[in-house]
Structure 1
Amino acid sequence: MCRDYIWCKGDGSKDMHFVAWNVLCWPKNKGGRGLLSIVDKCSPLRARLAWNFINNPESLAHKLIAAKNGFDIWENQGRCNLSTTWKVLKIGARHLWPFLRWRISSGESINTVNDTWLLNRNLSSWPTYAAQMDESSILLSGFIKNGAWDVDKLNQFFGSDLVKSIYSIKIHSDQDKMELIYKCSGRSLSSLISDSSFTELSEDLVWYKMKKLRLRPRVEFFWWKLRLNVIPSNSFLQQRKLVDCSDCPRGCGCLEDVDHVSVKCNKIHSILKFLAGWGCTLSSFSDLSDCIKFLITLASSNPFIGNLYCTVVFLCWKSRNNLSHGGRDDSSMVLATNVFCMAVASFNCNLSLENWDANQLQLYNVSWCPPPPRWIKANVDATVSINNRAGIGVVFRDCKGRFLFAFGRSLLHWDIAQVEVLSILAVGDTIKDWMIQADGIIIESDNSNVIRFFIDIINKNLDKEGIHNFRQICFKFSVRECNRLADYCANLALLSDFV
């Protein structure tokens, strides 16, 4: 189902699967697309069940399962009539084991060499340790005496640096207990175990660098396929006996492969000439690998130009597909215009600092969005420092982004959410007479919980005439949570009493 969703056509008909499923499931930083394989996720989810079995010995499930099968889910049992529940727990335990370490008490349950109790790995995985141990020293309890480390015994088997590390480990007074190695990672256990299956894959440094170009998702996905040579060019399709001719459909008179699609096509050169006339000069390359090397350099020095070139290749390919399927190939002038608008709109590029307060195209997607005509927008924000000094600020702008009015206020407080509420309430204290002539006001904040709180109050309790005599009022989330004002038009239906 997942493969069909990605590769099948919009009308439901079958299409070619260009990339293997396991490659799609690799993380993005490993060269994949980070998709979730339900089959591969099964064992990590079972590991979570195994951890619940180990970590909750007083639960009813633990008592019932342990009474029949025992407490050690790592024990090699020769029985063939194991219950399904026990089999699931044993599979999960096998994947859970590398992520557990022992919390030391008596040491009677801990194997000194094969169990993890020192840092995050067992001694057999360390480069060296002092001497071969006899059977009396296999258990860690042989190095503990009267609830403390036996330093003389440790010095017999370990070097001085390792003894210092071992001696710094606290010995608890209860019993040996397992704990997670990565307790404070902020990620779920299943996620950690799932990612461990990709540790042998090398990092995709190209992806890491090109991420700085801030490409649109479709553009970024196209370049990912281009690097893997899986776009349906005529050369690609001819190798699979799907077309007879491998030349470029634009009449370039040469083989249409990934090098031609990315750097050699005459259409690309024509578009680059228009962009050069507008002040955006781009280099020409010999092949795709040379192009990618240059894009990696641009990612640090001039990412906007790199974004521009990637967009040129993407839109040129889309126009080529229209031509191949009976449509019309767009002119180079039209493509250059679309390339420039798309790249500027998707990238925070301040091309003109003289008109900083105007509604500029290059800023709308990542910064301030203008309100509708004849409306006013009030941007509010608040802050609380460690010493309880708090501050609020409000800025009013019109539909063209022009500055109207601003004010700030300082106070003492401890809760940032309550200060955000006070900042919105302060808007009503600073309403000017000339603002009443506006069709409405949008109050924008970066705290979604506070916004929802006010929307609930408006919908349930407030009366239309009681809101500062405004004919229309609405609240919206910050642009950091949604970049387009139009995306919230549906939410305005909730405020039908006021709009």
Structure 2
Amino acid sequence: MEVPEWIEFLLKSLNSQDQGLLCNCLLSIWTSRNHLIFENIEESSMEAVDRTRRKHEEFLFALRITDAEIQSPPPDSNSSERWNCPPTNTIKINVDASTSENGLVGIGIVARDNFGAILMASTWKGDLSLNSQEAEALACLMGLEKAQQCCFFDVIVENDNIEVIQSLRLNKRQNNYFESFIVDCFNLVTSLRSVKFSHVKRSGNRVAHELAKIALTNPNEVWMEDAPSNICNLAFLDIISPIHE
């Protein structure tokens, strides 16, 4: 049995908490290996165990709070309730926005490949007076901008606001900030090879949702092939959740 098949076999036999423990063990081993090869730093086994313990505690915390923070979708919505991997050679960019009472807007963006691996994650904050729909349209625009900057040519932009996604799909416009963001999105689409707009329920957009919340206190950050530990844990949950279905 090859290693990937062995890992998949183990994941299918474990519950969510133990799946997270396995993934964090493997990640810690890989981190120790990289430290030795690239930095000539030899870690003790206890250092690797302690890192695994800390990461797993963060994972369990993310597992506990996720369901409590997810809002129930409209009963007539038939969009996917979970995050699904994009097709091979296509990058899925999930975006979300959060707003504060004092007019601040936080934007969270995460790009992942067909294995669910994080290729890019970013946060942005602006002092703008936008309603929630306008903020979500701005998030889609900034997701397309990141795709262009990162040279992602075939992308799916995914968001949990159905009105915004329908406007992007049907070219629906209004006479406000919302229209200007939609028009700018269409202008950016021409610079990419292929773009699709996808709606997912809040439960399938939790990584971008958490980044949008982080953006209000930790803005203007960009992580390439990396992300904060709580974001990585949520991304793990997206990948392993379908295994038991």
Same fold per superposition (TM over 0.5): no
Q: Please state which structure has a larger fraction of its residues in helix.
A: 2
TM-score by length of 1: 0.23
TM-score by length of 2: 0.44
The higher-RCO structure (CA 8 Å, 6+ apart) is 2
- Return the index of the structure with the highest Cα Rg: 1
Q: Please state which structure has a larger fraction of its residues in strand.
A: 2
